[in-house]
Amino acid sequence: TIGINSSGEWRRRRSSTKTGYSNIVRCCNPVSYKKFVDFALDQTTTHTHLLPSPLQEKYNSMNSKDGKGELSMLSFQAAKIRLLRSLIIKSETMQVLDFTVFPKAEYDTPIFCANFFTTARTNIVVLDLNPLHDIINQGDYKEKYFKSLIPLGLKYAEHFPWGGKLTSESIKFFSPIVIWTKFTSSPQNYDILYSAFRDYYKVWLEMVGSAVKETDESQILRNLQAQHRYLTWRAEKDPGQGVLKKLIGDTLAKDLLRNFLFNGVDELGSKKFSDYFPQYCCDEDNKKRSTIGKSFESRPWDANGEFLGE
């Protein structure tokens, strides 16, 4: 049977059956990511009218190869939203939330990004309003969307320590208020994560709500290219890829990544991964040597939201 210890962690406990120890370690704790998605959908409908996405028909639910895991997909669109989609994975050993909302190219609003990977003991979390444009070198974009949010970021940075080194390129897709963290599983941590999720999502909805439609074609194109670059990065480099492949096999995982999770990667632009990220390029023999390493041992943003670099 399964027990819960003082820190709220689900633990293998002495089974009451004659066989002694049960060898099941159940995932996961008192967290349910469905609650997060329900909240987001509910909030979204108070701001805008959500329409089902054409993707919904094909991507709704799927079992893992071993029959012990389930993947649940939802997708919508709205006046200012090209695609709102969520993937929840529940298996015996993990729970995953991948919830991302992509605005239409007429808006330069950040992309809402919540990626939570949970096992019985640990959690890997990214929660952010991913900036569409460079905020390290482009002060005006940072000013426009993030300046007023620095206190919100600081509030949660206090509770959630920096998650440690990450793929160097990723930092450019993150904002100064990113919550990048790892923590042990406990009801208290999930409560705070849920609170952060609600705060970040409400702030993001306000942003989109007040965003003014761009009419300048060159600006729209610039937004579109930035979205495509983002999709290209994530479709290729998502650290969840290995997990997905294990669960549903290479072919379905690739389809899910390119056509559902990062839908648009094959339609919104024609550039390839190596065009956007030549530093990762190119020839197979060099693949190992040419991948950029991991960096940012500690939070590279100061309390004023200034980038500190390496």
* Alpha carbon distances (Å) from 79 to 42, 211, 257: 16, 12, 24
CB 75 within 8 A of CB 85: yes
Position among 10, 107, 162, 173 found at the interface with ligand BLA (CB under 6 A): 173
**Least spacing, CB of residue 294 vs ligand BLA, in Å:** 6
Nearest distance, CB of residue 14 and ligand BLA, angstroms: 30
234 binds ligand BLA (CB under 6 A): yes
Name which of residues 119 to 158 contact ligand BLA (CB under 6 A). 124, 126, 130
Count of Cβ atoms closer than 10 Å to residue 144 Cβ: 16
Cα–Cα distance, 310 to 300 (Å, whole number): 7
Q: Which stretch binds ligand BLA (CB under 6 A): 24-32, 62-70, 112-120, 139-147?
A: 112-120
CA distance 39 to 268: 29
Q: CB under 6 A: which stretch of 32-40, 111-119, 218-226, 284-292 binds ligand BLA?
A: 111-119
User: Least distance in Å: CB of 144 to ligand BLA?
Assistant: 20
Of 54-62, 209-217, 237-245, 267-275: span binding ligand BLA (CB under 6 A): 237-245
**CB 173, min distance to ligand BLA, A:** 4
Q: What are the backbone angles phi and psi of residue 172, rounded to the nearest 5°?
A: -75, -15
Of 47 and 103, which CB lies nearer to ligand BLA in the complex structure?
103
Handedness of CA 32, 34, 40, 42 (dihedral sign): negative
Span near ligand BLA by CB under 6 A; candidates 39-47, 66-74, 113-121, 296-304? 113-121
Q: For ligand BLA, which residue of 166, 192, 203, 281 counts as binding (CB under 6 A)?
A: 166
Q: How many residues bind ligand BLA (CB under 6 A)?
A: 18
* Binding residue (CB under 6 A) for ligand BLA from 31, 84, 113, 205: 113
Nearest-CA neighbor of 193 among 203, 207, 182, 206?
182
232 binds ligand BLA (CB under 6 A): no
Q: Which residues contact 87 (CB under 8 A, 6 or more apart)?
A: 71, 72, 73, 96, 97, 98, 99, 256, 260, 261
* Alpha carbon separation from 52 to 77, 78, 193, 232, 256 (Å, rounded): 6, 9, 27, 24, 18
Question: At closest approach, how far in Å is the CB of 244 from ligand BLA?
Answer: 5
Burial class (CB in 10 A: 0-12, 13-18, 19+), 273: middle
Q: Which of 207, 187, 143 is nearest to 8 (CA)?
A: 187
- The Cα–Cα gap between 210 and 140 comes to 17
User: Which one of 38-46, 163-171, 194-202, 302-310 is the stretch in contact with ligand BLA (CB under 6 A)?
Assistant: 163-171
Q: How far apart are CA 254 and CA 261, in angstroms?
A: 10
Q: Is 226 in the site for ligand BLA (CB under 6 A)?
A: no
Q: Which residues bind ligand BLA (CB under 6 A)?
A: 89, 96, 98, 113, 115, 117, 124, 126, 130, 166-167, 170, 173, 234, 239-240, 243-244
